[in-house]
Homo-oligomer: A and B are copies of this chain.
C-alpha cells in the first residue's frame, strides 16, 4: 500500500480524518484494555474524539468492528506462517502463532469461534490444508484431518483464552488454578482426580497446547501411515 504525502513543509492537517484503519486500531486498544464488554460505540468514538454516529460511515455495525479488530490482530500472524519447509513444523508454528495472539488479546478467541466465514479463519483452513497435503494426506482424509486440526487449534486457543481472561497476571493465575484444583478434588473423590489436580497446578498452557497439536499429527500419520507400519482399525 503506497502512501502519497502532500508536500507542504509544515503539515497543517492534524492526524485527523476518520478511517476504517483508525477505527479498528482504536477498537483493538479498547478491547485490550477493557475486554469485550468494554467495546462500546461510545468508547470508540470518545477515544477518537468524534460524534457517536461517525463510525457508521466506515463500518457497518459493531459485529463488523469486532471481526475487523480480530483480523487486524491475526493478519500478521497468518501472513508469516506460510514459509516453512517441514510441514509439521509449519503447523506447529501456525498453531503457536495463533495461541500467542489470543493469549495477548483474549477477546480474539471468542470472535474466531463466532463466525466461520471470516477471512482470518479461512486463511487458517488454507494453510493447514496445504501443509497436510504436503504430508501426503488427500481427499476425505484431508478434509477430516484439516477440520480436526483447525477446530482443535481455534477451540483450544479460545478455551485457554477464557481462562487467561479470568486470571490476567501470574499471581491470580496461581490462585485460580489452586481454587480449581481444590474444588475439583472436593467435588470428586475419584483418585484420578487427585493426581490430575496436582498436575494442573504445574502445567504450562502453551506446552499443553502444542502437545495437543502433536497428538493430532501423530494420529494423522498413524491412520494414513506414510511412515512406519500403520496401526489396525477396530
Contact = CB atoms under 8 A, between A and B. Distances in A.
Interface of A: 88, 109-110, 113-117, 122, 126, 129-130, 133, 139-140, 142-148, 151-152, 154-156, 158-159, 162-163, 166, 180, 183-184, 187-188, 190, 192-193, 195-196, 199-200, 203, 208, 211-212, 214-223, 227-229, 231-232, 234
Given A126-B190, A129-B193, A190-B126, A152 B152 contact: yes
A112 to B, nearest CB: 9
A221 B223 contact: no
A115 B161 CA distance: 10
A180 B130 CA distance: 18
Q: Which 5 pairs across A and B sit closest by C-beta, in order of nearness?
A: A155-B155, A219-B219, A148-B212, A151-B156, A215-B219
A133 B163 CA distance: 25
Contacts of A122: 184, 187
Contact of A110 (B113, B129, B145): B113
Contacts of A163: 116
Given A151-B155, A155-B159, A180-B117, A212 B129 contact: no
A211 B141 CA distance: 9
Quickly give the copy total for this chain.
2
Interface SS, A side? helix
A173 to B, nearest CB: 12
Given A114-B162, A231-B227, A215 B155 contact: no
A222 B216 contact: no
A120 to B, nearest CB: 13
A175 B17 CA distance: 40
Nearest to A220: B215
Contacts of A142: 196, 199
B208 A144 contact: yes
Given A122-B187, A192-B129, A218-B219, A113 B155 contact: yes
22 contacts: A88-B234, A110-B110, A114-B162, A115-B162, A117-B183, A129-B196, A143-B208, A145-B215, A148-B156, A151-B155, A152-B152, A152-B155, A152-B156, A154-B155, A154-B159, A214-B219, A214-B223, A215-B216, A215-B220, A216-B216, A221-B222, A228-B231
